[in-house]
Structures are given as structure tokens and as C-alpha cells.
Structure 1
Amino acid sequence: MVWERAARAFWPLAALLALGFSALWLGLVAPLGAALPWLAGGWLAAVIVAAGLGGWRYRRVRLPEALARLDATLPGRPLSALSDRPALGDDALWRAHLDQMQAIARTARPVRPDADLPRRDPFALRLAGMVALVMALIFGGAGQMGQGLRAIAATMTPPPGATATATGPAWEGWAEPPAYTRRPTLYLNAMAEGAVLELPKGSAVSFRLYGGGAELSQDIGPDEGTDPTAPAFRAERSGAIEVAGRRFDVTVLPDAAPRIRAGAAPTRRADGRMIQDFTASDDHGVVSAQALIELDLPAIDRRFGLAADPDPRDPVRLDLPLPRGDRREVQGQLAEDLSRHPWANLPVRITLRAQDGIQQVGQADPMALALPGRRFFNPLAATLIEMRRDLLWARGNAPRSAEILRAVTWRPDGFVADDLYAQLRGAVGMLEAGPLDPDDRDALAEALWQAAIQLEDGGLADALQAMREAQQKLSEAIRNGASPDEIQRLMDALREATDAYTRMLAERGDGQDQADSPDRGQQGQQITGDQIQQMMDEIQRLMNEGRMAEAQALLDQFNRMMENLQVQQQQGQGEGQGQQGSQPMNRLADTLREQQRLSDEAFRERQRQQGRQGEGQDGGEGQDGDSLADRQGALRDDLAQQQGLMPGQGSEQGDEARRQLDEAGRAMEDAEQALRDGDTAGAMQRQADAIRSMREGMRALGDMAAREGQQGQQGEDGQQPGGQPGQTAEGGQAQSPYEGQPMLDPLGRESSGGGNVITNGDPLAEGLDPARRARDLLDEIRRRSGQPDRPQDERDYLGRLLDRF
């Protein structure tokens, strides 16, 4: 009630004080000029009136008023009833009445305050004052408040010497460096006497002269202003500025031209894209950079289709990618596909240029080279590309191209497909119809390009495009936070597209130009189909665990790898040992993933059973158990079939792999029986044993495949290749495939044994994978949580861990 009465009485005073403080704190007082005394006086009078009215309206809260306010919120007004006295005596009815009132009084609660300000302030002036106060606290400052107070004081008592100052000359000056230098504007009046003024070249200097006695002279740059009271000029050279008896010695800092340098000569990727490294620098930052590509006409062999004078064509200008932020030192890479340009594979001169904020240009030495473009190995495809080049070189080559095209398409049976033959014959008709206009020439060039692609790649181009689209859709889904079902569907589509693309590459026999691929790496280091599948499995696992940022980074690396993929079928020496190990490993990996999913479903089924038992229900579990048992049995049968096709019989690693898989099969059989008996806990324990045995079998199989591949290469080259698992050049046992790091069990303890690793240099093979340790630890927790002989508290704790992770 105290707050209510104070708010009703003094809200106008609070609003006026908030507005006045906000005006001072935001610096809105000083610019008012002659109107300031009137406004300040009116505000002060309003404050006095509001304070007086508030003090007259405010009434102190008394105890009876507070009791009456509380009593009004209770039914029957019990507080008043308890203070009453009976007129006819204290009988049982009166005591019962008092007891009832006391019970009601005990239910009393604090009364919510209500000042009813919206009715008293219909224009919300109090809210305007609060908003102004908040804005002042955010954007204002003590400096603006001090200026306002000085302005108010000046209206009441002029400072000593104000009359003399008003009659003398006054001035203000500013120096604004160019925006690209990112330097602040200087206020010349605040500079110390005798200080040297250092300005970047091109800085804008401006003055404002008050009164008629101030004069300005300078010798640092040409005048730009026409108003004698507001002179302005640009700093171009060192010198001095004199204004009203004040001298500024100015040093103009020179702005050096930007520098740019190309890296190694441009390289061509397998898909024909040009890659050019460059470095650029500037004292204030590079604003833009370009690569200028011009035809090197004297270096061209002017024969055949290039003998005619070329049609005029503008140079190619490509913007170089520059980073955001600081651009004083820039390292970048230009990646551009110029395979379809008329100058592809012809001599050109590439010049890199950089520009700074004042249009100064730095230029690198021109590089003479053949413009990187796609190369065609199919003879007919190469012929079509050459005719396309001749047409784009000069439209006068149309008759010659028509003759060559007729010769190429003679007797097409078994040489040219029917649909392609029809397209080429249509091109012959267009070439022989008469002079080509630019639009017809470009359309014909595009048709020849598509025909050459079809001949060179067959369906490979479509498969590559499908794979790229699947990659882009999956990356976009990860970035946009799509649902797990949508991400899984896109991941399956990417697997199918990648399988189709790698299969077609393998059928083509790796016809890419290996010498032109900069991403090939060290000699003998190749990407195999198994390694591609392992990389995709790792992406899948990261997404299943919710580690989307890591999955996106690995997917980006996968995309870059697939752009320059060179797939070679694993053909071992003698009986093809490499291929013998690849298919079993892939099938085992699929079986292991299916067993892990089945174990997770068994764990969820056990949680549902425990929930039903807690609610007093005991039915409904036989059908689910039989379904899981049937799937477990089918998985066991599939593993048995794989064991019959397992390679390496008689070798140490092969026998070890068979033994581990036998144990996995027995564990699966026990898990199936436990599921049929309704013992979900026992089934989970045996499933964990099966998973562990399968992993050990896969490790042994991988060691066998790596050792056989190493021995085959050693027999072929006469020496042991470095960096491969197996034996060293001296015949001893090699170090751990994790570069000397010890193998650890799920609890972090050292253990012996190797692993099936990827040796293509990607991050999956660098060091011990912490995610693998986490996965093994999760399997161990799942196994222990399914053991009924463990204490209930321990199993509850393990269950909470599984729920969380």
C-alpha cells in the first residue's frame, strides 16, 4: 500500500526526472542553444509542481487501513468479525462462529499491489520516461552529461573572459584518413601543441572558421572546397598547415602499391579444373584482385584449323577469392573450370593483378602456359573437341569441319551409337547450310561438347553428377538440422550414387590422366573401394551419434577426394589376394552394423519390459521377443555363409579370424535362444560378446589382407614399401599401425594386436580413434547392464549411462 500510494502520487515527478536525466546523459541539452534557458526553466518548474502535488496527495498507510484491505480479500471479512463482541453473551454458537472466522483468517495471503497507473496515465508518459532512461544508459555517457551541465551553467553565469573569446577568431579542424586504412578521424583542436600530424596519403583535411579574423594556409595538397569559411583539401605530400597562428607540421605517409605473386604454374585436376595459388599483400589491405587471361597468339602452332585469323574475343577476367577481415597479407587459391572455353589447352598468358583502396594496381609477371582444360582420350571424342575448338576459333572453319565430320561419321555401324550419329549428321547439315552466326556457332559447339562427353565417359558423367547432387543435398540437410529420417534417406542415396560412380570408373580401367592429378599424393598411394566404404561408414556413425559438425567436415573431405578419384581394382598377385579380402570385409562390416542395431533394439525392449513390470503388467512381450529372435537367427545364418567364403585358410591371421567368427556365431545362437525364452538381459550379454568377437575377426582379416598386399608389392618391387603394416624392411615386425601409439582396450589399458587401418593418408588413419574407444566402452556398458547377477544399483547406474549416451 505504501508503494501504491507513492506511485500514484509521484509518477509525474519520476517521469520528469527520467526525461531530464536522459536529455543530459544523451547530450541533447547542448545543441538547444538559445532555447535552453526556457526549456530548462520550464522543466524545473514542472518538477517543483509535480513534487508539491505528490507530497499533497500522499497519505501515510495506517494499520486499520491495511487490515481492512486484507479483510476485503477474505470471504465474510473474518478480521472484522474476530474483533466483534456478542451482545447477549458468549454461547456455543458464538464460539463456533469465531472458530470459523479464525479458520478463514488463517488462509489470508499477501495482497497483490495495484497502483492503477494506466487509468491515471492514459498517455503512458511514465513508460516514455522509462524508455528514454534505458536508451540513455545504453548509448549515453558522462562526457555528454558534462557538456550539457556546462551549457546550462553558461546560460546562467558566463565564464570569465567569455566576451573577449567571442570577439576573437575561432576554428575547428578534422583530418579523415581513407576508409580502407581503418584509421579514426583526428580532431585537430585536441592535438598537443607542436605535435607532428601523420596522415596516410589521400586523407581529407577540413576546417570550419568562425569570425572574420581567422586565416588558413597549407602546402600539402590541392584545395577541394569553395567555401572560404570551410576550407578543405586532400593530403598528397608532406608540409605544414597554419590556421589562426597555430601551425601543424604534416608528414604524409606514402601508400605503397599492392604486391601480388603467383605460386607454382597452374595445375589441372582430373575433371579439367584449373588450380592457381597466389599470394598478395598491401600496407593497408588488398581491395580486389583479378586473373587476366589473354591468348598468346605468337606461341600457337598456326596450322590446320588454327591457320585462319581468330574471331575477336575479349580476355578472360577471373576474380581472385579474398578472405574477409584483414587483407594485408593474403594467401589464396583460384579454382576455375575453363574446359569449355575456346582457348582451353591453347597457349595463353596469365597475369595476376591486385588493387588497393586508392586504385593503385600491383601486377605479377605474366605466365606463359597452355590453359588447363579437360583432356579426351577417346579418338572420336578428341576429334569432336578439336572441331569444336576450330569453330570457336573462327567461324570460317565451318566448311572444313563439315568435311572432317562427314569422314568421321562414315560407316558408323558398331562405331557410333544411333542417337549420337543422328546428332552429328545434323551438325553436318548446319555447317554446310551457310555462314554461321554467333548463336548458331555456340549452340553447335555445345552439342559437340556433349557428344564428346558421351563418347568419353558413357554414363560416367551422369553418375558423377548424381553423386555430386547427393553430396550437396546431404550437406545442406546437415547444415539445416534436418530430421534423422531425412538424413538417413539422403545418406542411403549418396551410398548408391557413389557405388554406381566407382563401379563405372573401375569398368573404364582408370582412364584418367594420372600425371595431371595434383591430389594423387605419393607414388603408389591409391584410394580403394574398401577405403571409400569405410569413410562413408565413419560419416554414417558420426551422424548417428549426433556429431554433425564432425560429420560435415568428413563429408567435405570425402567430396574433395571423390572429385579426383582414381579407383583401381584390388588385383593381388597370383590368385588375386586383394579382391579376396575386400568383399568379405564389406559383408562382415554390414553384419556387424546389423548386430549393433539388433542389440540396441533388445536393450529398448528390456526397458519396456521393466516399465510394464513396474506398472504391474506382465504380457505382450513374447511377440516382440520372437521377432528379435528371428532376426538374430537370420543374422547367424548369414555369418555362417560368410565363414565358408573366408580367405586365408591355413594362415595365422586367417585361422584367427575363423576362430573369432566361430565364437561370434555361438554367441549369436545363445542370444537367439535367450530372446525366445524372454531373457532379454542374457541376450544382450551374448550380443555384446558377438560384437566383440566379430571385431576381433575383422581385425585379423584386415591384418592378413595388409600383409599379403605388402608381400605382393615387395615381390614386385624388390623392396618393402614404407609406411605399410606388416614387416619392416629388415624382416622384423612393424610398429603399430597407429604410428607407435599403444593399442588400448575400452578402459584405456594397453593391449596387444593390430587393426585394419586405412593407409591413404586421411584423418581416419592418423592416431588412435577416440570414437572407437567410446564405441567399445558403450558395448562394454551394454554387456554389463544385461548381467542379472550384478547389484541392482550398479545396473541402474549403467542404465542411466545408456539413456544419456
Structure 2
Amino acid sequence: MAKTQGKTTTLDRALRGTLLGLWAERLARAFWPLVTVALLLWAALAFGVQDVLPAAWATGFALGGLAALLACLVWGAWRFPVPASADAARRLDQTLPGRPLTAMADEVAVGSEDSGTQALWAAHLARVSRILEQARAVPGDLRLARFDRFGLRYIAATAAAVAVLFAAPARVTDLGELAQLSGRAEAIALGPSWEAWVQPPDYTGRPSLYLNEVDRPTLQLPEGSLVTVRFYGQPGIMSVVESVSDRTDPDPTTMAQDFTIEASGRISVRGPAGRDWEITALSDAAPNVTLAGAPVRERGGLMRQDFTATDDYAVTGGQIRVALDLAEVDRRFGLAIAPEPRADLEIVLPLPASGARDQIEDAFIEDFSQHPWANLPVVLTMTVEDARGQTGQSAEAHVILPGRRFFDPMAAAVIELRRDLLWSPENATRSLQLMRAVSHRAESAFRSTEALARFMDTRDLLHASLTDGGLEAAARDDLAQKLWDLAILLEEGELADARARLERAQERLDEAMRNGADPSEIQELMDEMREAMRDYMQQLAEQPRERGEPQQGGERMEVTQDQIQQLMDRIQELMEEGRMDEAAELMAQLNALLENLQVAEGQGGDGPPMPGGEAMEGLGEALREQQDLADDTFGQLQEEFRDGGQGQGQPQPGQPGESEEQQGQGQQEGDDPQQQDGGSASDLADRQRDLAEALRQQQLQPLPGEGMPEGDAALEALEQAQRAMEDAAEALEQGDSGAALGRQADAMEAMREGLRAMNDAATQDQREQAQGDAASETGNGDGRDPLGRARNQGGEVGTEQNMLAENDVYERARDLLEELRRRSAELDRPEQELDYLRRLLDRF
């Protein structure tokens, strides 16, 4: 009996579960459209669609949504068949083997009285009963893909989830207010009423005001606020009177009125439920801009102009205007004739991309180096604008337009020729004469054959352009670009090539790091970069000190070549370890370091000054004075050609390459060809002799590396420079400015060679001093150890002979120092070891 009751309970439980599954299945299939529409409507209301639509449209939206819900409800009720217990029994019976429920209802048709048949039937019922004991409820089929082929139910569920996370579900209750809005609109249509809004300008950031709900009698509103007034009902009953706008003869009874607040005054709505407001207009002041000091020349000739701009709300734009200050221009040489008319430069002012713009402190940075007005007097003004179109302008600043400066005499001469061509096409003939004068015996005037060839090509191009009947604008611009490139080559020389090689090596290595190149390829590119770095550092060190421009304030951080090598070693280690991200970050730091790199003469620590330091400083000063003297000599040569004079060493009438018109030019009466801006020829000769004597005195001072090959080379170069100076003085006394200019160039080149040799000698002296300091720390420096015993130097004990070559000793010392620096840069080492390494580096 208990066994039969347990079987019945199991079967009933399975039947009830199957019936619930049928209910869920049929409800889902019948009412999924209703749930989908309900979720979509709920999400739309939560996102505030009722606020975006007009009142009538919002009412229509609500009614349409209710109608859609009702239609889905009716459709679902019509399609919903109520499941019965028989349906549940039929589904459960179909899932069991042999359909046991049907078998339990069967009866014996033949042989019911036979005992064998009865026994067989009883065994069959027992087997069916055992199957029913294992019956389990059949879940409903909730898959709706064949009913919802477009997945609308998923779209609705996603919209509802997003509304819960990012919208305001409580706004669904706003739907009940639509009926109130509808009734209000009906009341407005039936009787006289009014509405008014105030919309402040967007740039003020103030919210809109609905005047029907503002009880204050006084309001403060920004100028430019838009007032909108609407009347409803019979025309002529309601009117508005205002004194805040600049409208002329408005009709106060117009049903729809818009006006802008321009001044303080009064707004009155007259009629049923009328109101009055006293309006105080908040004026919008014009923006203000001031220039913070004079423009500054940045590295590379960039102009930097600091400024401060302020406004009540925000500065929306601005520009900087550059005009030529012709009255302040030194009208000599190529600038003597009237300039070609050029429009003033107007450049958009950069503003912060984010943040407040009511007070801006920024800097305008631009490169005017290639403009014809570079390094000439200009008038600088800055203008800013606010959102209302009001403008503010700074005071005019009469300044020199910053541009790149050229210290090499030949480069400066080429830049002056370029400036004259851009100043006026009428300078073309004069520029051609000067270029012919410079190219006479030009082998000693140019430091490289490439520069000489490019100068000759540019001269020929200018001659061909004039032969064609005048210098056209396109040809002039082409010539200007060629002269600029030539000046850069003359100024930077091999340094530009070394820098280009270094940049190419960096780009290739960076590309290999990003693309995951093989270790062998990375090693090859790293070696190429190291070689390019050595060449670049050497060329940079050989540049004369007077080429660098002093930094504008702040402290200068000195970086030695060893530190750069350590950084490169660390980059290589990170790449070998596969830490490419860290290697790329260090590579970016190295690139930023090289952008601002300047090699100081006599690199090293803060140790005692090396012998000959004063001599090197004096030589640099003499080189600067020689450059100034060469500039004055070149100015004298220009004046001779401008006056038509012929000096020795210059093309004479009848020489090949001179036209008949040029050969017929003579010296103007009343001009003294010897009197120039830089002084007479005799004054220039005296200055040259004084400079030669000063250089001779420099040779008598202690020089770095005396007795060494580097020191001998430096002394020989200084002697050559002194002889060239004396020859230049003799040429100046004879009036041969061209020959003097060539000898002055020889003198400057020899002085540069001397500086290079002295720098190498100073470096060698520092290495020897470092070795001596190391010996003094470990012994008495006389070949004996601290106990007075003779050192073992590779031979017998006690010998005084050093069996190692001198270069090997220095190489070994450098290797030890590099190893110490490499280990000290590995921050993962123990702190005690790092402290010990730092103390060793401080000592040596």
C-alpha cells in the first residue's frame, strides 16, 4: 500500500510540473509581443521622449502606445489555449518509453479468464508501474525563435536594461501629466492667456527661465538674452510693453513676439493675469589681450610671444597680425629701394582645446625664419574675440621679428642675398653681381665642394631668369628656397648630415621594435645607431661655441656622452629581454634628449679646471671677433659694388662673364670707396692686425695637451690662422676686399681646427688625470703599493717597467668605468650594492 502511494505521488508531481511547463510555454508564445511592446514603451518614457515631443505629439504617443498594448493583449488572449490535465498527461506519456500511462488504461481483450494470460498481464502492469516510478516533469518549450524571427524581444530587453542603468525610470510617471498638459492647452485655446520664456545666450551657461513661474519682480539677465512671448485667445486682449530691446515701433498686441535684451528696463504683460518685471541687463564686456613682454627667439629661430587674454565668459578666437615697420628699417644695401607690396601676416591665435577660456595665459609660437621680414623691424598686434563678436586688441609692439640667425659669414651672406631678392625683384641684378663677386676665386671661400657647386648652380639659375626678361615670382621663390637650403648647408655643414643619419637610424630601430624584428636585426640596427650617435656627437662637439644661442633663463642640465651610451645600453638590454614597451619608452626619452642636446666643451665632472681652459675661451672670443670683422669686410665689398667701384680681386671691365652694361658702370662721383659702415679700409686693417697679435699672445699661454700630438696640431692650426690674419690685413691695406675676405675665411677655418684639436687634447688630459687620481687612491703613484712594495706589472717582482701599452691602460680604465656605470644603472640590484657603486663613481 505504501509502495503504491509513493508511485502515485511521484506521478502526480510529474503531472503537475508538466502542466506548469505547458502554461509557461503557451503564455510565452501568446504574449511575447505584449511584453516586447511594454518594455519598448517603458524604455522610451524612461529616456524622456515625452519631454522631447510637443504636448500634442506626446499625447498621441501615449495613446498609440496604449492602443498597441491593448492590441497585443487581445491577440495574445485569442492565441492562448488554456492547458488541461489531459494535455499534461499526454505530453508526459509521450516522453516515457512504451507510453506507460496509456498502457495502464488498457484492458485484456482476449483470454481474460485464462490464468496464464492474467499472470502475463500482471507482469506487464508491474513493468509499466516501475517505469511510472521514474517519471519526471516535462519542462515547457520556451524557444521563440520561430515566432520572433527578427529578435524584437531581445531589442526590447536591451533597451530596458540600458534605461535602468543610464536613464531615469521614475520619469515614466510623467506620462500622467500629459493629460494635464492637454487640458491646459485646451484652456489656453478657449480663453485669453499668455506664456513667456527667456533664453540666455549659450556661451553664458545659464538655464532658460519660464516667466509664468517666476514670482520675483526683478531679474538680472545677460545682454543678448532672447525673450519669447506668446498670447492665446482673442487677438487684441493681451499685449506686451518692454523697454529692454532696440525694436522700433513694435505692435504690442502681436500674438507671437521675440526680442533681445540689449539694455536694462521693464517688461510688462498686460491683460488678464498680466505681470511686470524690472530687468537689469548684465553687460558683456569686450575681451582684453595684452602681450607679455617682447617676443623671444627660441631654438631653431622660432618666435615665442607670451600673452594673456581675458573675457567675462570665454574667448572664442583671435589672431596675431605682423606688419612691416618700414620707418624703422635700415634702408641700406638691398633694402634701399622700395619693397615689394606684401600683405600683413595674419595668423590664427592658438587657444586651449579644453578647460575654461575666461582667462588664458599662453604663448604664440611660429617660425618666421624664411619670411622676408625675418630679423627686420615689425609692428606686432594681437586681437581676440568673444562669442558676441566683440573684439579686443593689444597695444602695438614695435619689435624685431625673430628668425633664425646664421653665424657662418658665407651663410649670412647667402641669407642676405635671399632677403634682397624677396625684398624686391629689382634687386636681382645687384644680387647677381654680388654672387659673381663671391664666386671669384671661390675655392677657399666654401668649406665643401657641394656647397660651392650649389652656389654656382643658383647663380646660373638667377642669370638665366634675368636673361628671359625679368625675374618672375615663381622663379624668385625657387631661388629663395635654393639659397635657404644652401645657407643651412653652409651653417651646419656635416652636422646636418650626421643628425639626418641619426634620425634615420632611430626611425629604423623604432620600426623594428614595433614590428617584432629578429634579435639579430635589432642588434644590427642598434650598432648602426651607436655609430651614427658617435658621428653626431663628434660633429656637434666640433661646432664653435659662438654658434649656440644662450638659453633664456633656467638651469642647464649637462649630459655626458657616457650617460647617453648607458641609456642606449639599457635600451638594448630591455630589447634582448623582450621588454619592448619599456624599451620604446626609453627610446622616446632618448629622442627628447637629443632634440635639446648641446655638447659643452671640456665635458666632465666638477673636477679641477684643466690646463689651457682660459686659452680655449680666449680662442673662442677671437673667433667671434674674426667673424664680426669678416662681416664688416663683406659689407665694404657690397658697398663697393653698389657704388660701381672696382677693387682688386674683383671682376674688371672686359673680363669674361661681364656684360657691356656692367663693364660700363663706373664709380659715382663724390663717393669714397674706402669708407664703409664697418669703418675705412685702414681701420679694418688695424683691427685685423690687432686680432692677429691677440692670437699670437694666445699661443704663448698654456695650451691643452702640450707635448702631445693633439696639442701640436692645435698649435700648428693657430699659427696658420695668424698667418692668414696677417695676409688679410695686408690685403685690406691694399684695398683688395675680396682677397681679404678669402684669407679671413681661411683664418676662421684654421681657428676652428685649432679648437677641435684643443678639445681632443683636453679630453685626453682628463683621461690621464682620472688615471692619476685612481693611482693616488690605491697607492703612492710611484709604482709601489700602499705598503711601499714594488708592484707586479707583468714582469719580475719589483721591476719598474710597465709591460702594458699606454693605450691598453687607458682602454682598461675606460672599460672599468663603463662597467661601474652600467651596474649602477641597474635599479634591480640591492640598495647596498648600488650605494657602493655610486661611491666608487663619485671617487673616480
Normalised by the length of structure 2, the TM-score is: 0.60
User: In structure 2, do the counterparts of structure 1 residues 316 and 495 end up closer, same or farther at CA, with 3 Å as the change threshold?
Assistant: farther
Cα offset for 1:316?
1.9
User: In structure 2, do the counterparts of structure 1 residues 261 and 535 end up closer, same or farther at CA, with 3 Å as the change threshold?
Assistant: farther
The answer to whether 1:235 aligns with 2:261 is yes
1:3 maps to: 24
User: Which amino acid is 2:595 matched to?
Assistant: E
Tell me the secondary structure at the aligned position of residue 349 of structure 1: strand
Cα offset for 1:30?
4.4
Cα offset for 1:340?
0.8
Cα offset for 1:102?
11
1:46 maps to: 71
User: In structure 2, do the counterparts of structure 1 residues 63 and 522 end up closer, same or farther at CA, with 3 Å as the change threshold?
Assistant: same
Cα offset for 1:408?
0.1
Tell me, yes or no, if the aligned pair for 1:30 and 1:147 is still in contact at 8 Å.
no
2:774 maps to: 651
Instruction: For residues 471-525 of structure 1, give each alpha carbon's deviation from its aligned partner in whole angstroms, at most 9, with x where no partner exists.
Output: 67878999xx75476995887766555444323212334552333x438x547x5
Tell me the secondary structure at the aligned position of residue 423 of structure 1: helix
Aligned-CA RMSD value: 5.1
Tell me the secondary structure at the aligned position of residue 403 of structure 2: coil
1:604 maps to: none
Match of 1:14 among 20, 35, 39: 35
Q: State how far apart, in whole Å, the 2-side matches of 1:650 and 1:445 are.
A: 56
User: In structure 2, do the counterparts of structure 1 residues 308 and 50 end up closer, same or farther at CA, with 3 Å as the change threshold?
Assistant: same
Cα offset for 1:97?
9.0
Tell me, yes or no, if the aligned pair for 1:172 and 1:207 is still in contact at 8 Å.
yes
1:200 maps to: 222
Instruction: For residues 81-104 of structure 1, give each alpha carbon's deviation from its aligned partner in whole angstroms, at most 9, with x where no partner exists.
Output: 99999967589x99999999899x
1:54-65 map, 5 Å:
56-59=81-84, 64=89
User: In structure 2, do the counterparts of structure 1 residues 76 and 695 end up closer, same or farther at CA, with 3 Å as the change threshold?
Assistant: farther
Match of 1:182 among 205, 208, 217: 205
User: Which amino acid is 2:279 matched to?
Assistant: V
Cα offset for 1:332?
2.0
Tell me, yes or no, if the aligned pair for 1:653 and 1:700 is still in contact at 8 Å.
no
Q: State how far apart, in whole Å, the 1-side matches of 2:144 and 2:228 are.
A: 53
User: In structure 2, do the counterparts of structure 1 residues 650 and 475 end up closer, same or farther at CA, with 3 Å as the change threshold?
Assistant: closer
Match of 1:31 among 53, 56, 63: 56
Instruction: For residues 40-96 of structure 1, give each alpha carbon's deviation from its aligned partner in whole angstroms, at most 9, with x where no partner exists.
Output: 77457536624643665455797645644653xxx87799999999967589x9999
Tell me the secondary structure at the aligned position of residue 648 of structure 1: helix
Q: State how far apart, in whole Å, the 1-side matches of 2:512 and 2:358 are.
A: 36
The answer to whether 1:297 aligns with 2:326 is yes
The answer to whether 1:150 aligns with 2:182 is no
Match of 2:541 among 506, 520, 525: 506
Cα offset for 1:346?
1.1
Q: State how far apart, in whole Å, the 1-side matches of 2:769 and 2:264 are.
A: 85
Tell me, yes or no, if the aligned pair for 2:566 and 2:821 is still in contact at 8 Å.
no
Q: State how far apart, in whole Å, the 1-side matches of 2:150 and 2:412 are.
A: 82
Cα offset for 1:183?
3.0
User: Which amino acid is 1:284 matched to?
Assistant: Y
Tell me, yes or no, if the aligned pair for 1:648 and 1:654 is still in contact at 8 Å.
no
Q: State how far apart, in whole Å, the 2-side matches of 1:436 and 1:492 are.
A: 50
User: In structure 2, do the counterparts of structure 1 residues 249 and 537 end up closer, same or farther at CA, with 3 Å as the change threshold?
Assistant: farther
2:297 maps to: 268
Match of 2:562 among 513, 530, 544: 530
2:307 maps to: 278
Tell me the secondary structure at the aligned position of residue 442 of structure 2: coil
1:172 maps to: 195
User: In structure 2, do the counterparts of structure 1 residues 113 and 654 end up closer, same or farther at CA, with 3 Å as the change threshold?
Assistant: farther
Deviates more, 1:259-268 or 1:565-574: 565-574
Count of aligned pairs between the two proteins:
604
User: Which amino acid is 1:31 matched to?
Assistant: A
Q: State how far apart, in whole Å, the 1-side matches of 2:546 and 2:534 are.
A: 18
The answer to whether 1:388 aligns with 2:418 is yes
1:454-603 map, 5 Å:
454-468=489-503, 483=516, 495=530, 497-510=532-545, 512-515=547-550, 517-518=551-552, 521-522=554-555, 526-537=558-569, 558-568=590-600, 570=602
User: Which amino acid is 1:5 matched to?
Assistant: R
Tell me the secondary structure at the aligned position of residue 836 of structure 2: coil
The answer to whether 1:258 aligns with 2:287 is yes
User: Which amino acid is 1:565 matched to?
Assistant: L
Instruction: For residues 703-725 of structure 1, give each alpha carbon's deviation from its aligned partner in whole angstroms, at most 9, with x where no partner exists.
Output: 9xxxxxxxxxxxxxxxxxxxxxx
- Name stretches of at least 5 consecutive residues in structure 2 with no aligned partner: 1-20, 108-115, 614-703, 706-766, 780-812
User: Which amino acid is 1:755 matched to?
Assistant: R
Tell me, yes or no, if the aligned pair for 2:458 and 2:479 is still in contact at 8 Å.
no
Instruction: For residues 616-646 of structure 1, give each alpha carbon's deviation from its aligned partner in whole angstroms, at most 9, with x where no partner exists.
Output: xxxxxxxxxxxxxxxxxxxxxxxxxxxx999
User: In structure 2, do the counterparts of structure 1 residues 359 and 163 end up closer, same or farther at CA, with 3 Å as the change threshold?
Assistant: closer
Q: State how far apart, in whole Å, the 2-side matches of 1:98 and 1:550 are.
A: 75
Cα offset for 1:457?
1.6
Q: State how far apart, in whole Å, the 2-side matches of 1:331 and 1:492 are.
A: 45
- Name stretches of at least 5 consecutive residues in structure 1 with no aligned partner: 581-643, 657-693, 704-736, 760-805
User: Which amino acid is 1:443 matched to?
Assistant: D
Tell me, yes or no, if the aligned pair for 1:699 and 1:755 is still in contact at 8 Å.
no
Tell me, yes or no, if the aligned pair for 1:353 and 1:361 is still in contact at 8 Å.
yes
1:222 maps to: 246
Tell me the secondary structure at the aligned position of residue 231 of structure 1: strand
Cα offset for 1:320?
3.1
User: Which amino acid is 1:228 matched to?
Assistant: T
Instruction: For residues 395-433 of structure 1, give each alpha carbon's deviation from its aligned partner in whole angstroms, at most 9, with x where no partner exists.
Output: 111111111110000012343425224314314413642
User: In structure 2, do the counterparts of structure 1 residues 187 and 653 end up closer, same or farther at CA, with 3 Å as the change threshold?
Assistant: farther
User: In structure 2, do the counterparts of structure 1 residues 138 and 754 end up closer, same or farther at CA, with 3 Å as the change threshold?
Assistant: closer
Cα offset for 1:442?
0.9
Deviates more, 1:360-369 or 1:406-415: 360-369
Cα offset for 1:166?
4.5
Tell me the secondary structure at the aligned position of residue 771 of structure 2: coil
Cα offset for 1:134?
5.6
Q: State how far apart, in whole Å, the 1-side matches of 2:266 and 2:511 are.
A: 60
Q: State how far apart, in whole Å, the 1-side matches of 2:196 and 2:768 are.
A: 90
Q: State how far apart, in whole Å, the 2-side matches of 1:360 and 1:477 are.
A: 53
Q: State how far apart, in whole Å, the 2-side matches of 1:189 and 1:328 are.
A: 33
User: In structure 2, do the counterparts of structure 1 residues 66 and 562 end up closer, same or farther at CA, with 3 Å as the change threshold?
Assistant: same
User: In structure 2, do the counterparts of structure 1 residues 696 and 283 end up closer, same or farther at CA, with 3 Å as the change threshold?
Assistant: farther
Cα offset for 1:29?
9.5
Tell me, yes or no, if the aligned pair for 1:177 and 1:185 is still in contact at 8 Å.
yes
The answer to whether 1:115 aligns with 2:142 is yes
2:460 maps to: 426
Tell me, yes or no, if the aligned pair for 2:193 and 2:238 is still in contact at 8 Å.
yes
Cα offset for 1:255?
1.6
Cα offset for 1:648?
2.4
Q: State how far apart, in whole Å, the 2-side matches of 1:183 and 1:263 are.
A: 33
Q: State how far apart, in whole Å, the 2-side matches of 1:461 and 1:29 are.
A: 69
Tell me the secondary structure at the aligned position of residue 753 of structure 1: helix
2:407 maps to: 377
User: In structure 2, do the counterparts of structure 1 residues 540 and 315 end up closer, same or farther at CA, with 3 Å as the change threshold?
Assistant: farther
2:810 maps to: none
User: Which amino acid is 1:4 matched to?
Assistant: E
Tell me, yes or no, if the aligned pair for 1:470 and 1:494 is still in contact at 8 Å.
yes
Match of 1:400 among 430, 451, 463: 430
Tell me the secondary structure at the aligned position of residue 175 of structure 2: helix
Q: State how far apart, in whole Å, the 2-side matches of 1:252 and 1:472 are.
A: 60
Task: Point out the structure with max Rg over C-alpha.
Answer: 2
Match of 1:445 among 480, 483, 508: 480
Identity %: 37
Tell me the secondary structure at the aligned position of residue 755 of structure 1: helix
Deviates more, 1:332-341 or 1:562-571: 562-571
Match of 1:349 among 359, 362, 379: 379
Cα offset for 1:270?
3.6
Q: State how far apart, in whole Å, the 2-side matches of 1:503 and 1:122 are.
A: 75
Q: State how far apart, in whole Å, the 2-side matches of 1:556 and 1:702 are.
A: 21
Tell me, yes or no, if the aligned pair for 2:217 and 2:276 is still in contact at 8 Å.
no
Tell me the secondary structure at the aligned position of residue 514 of structure 1: coil
Q: State how far apart, in whole Å, the 1-side matches of 2:320 and 2:600 are.
A: 37
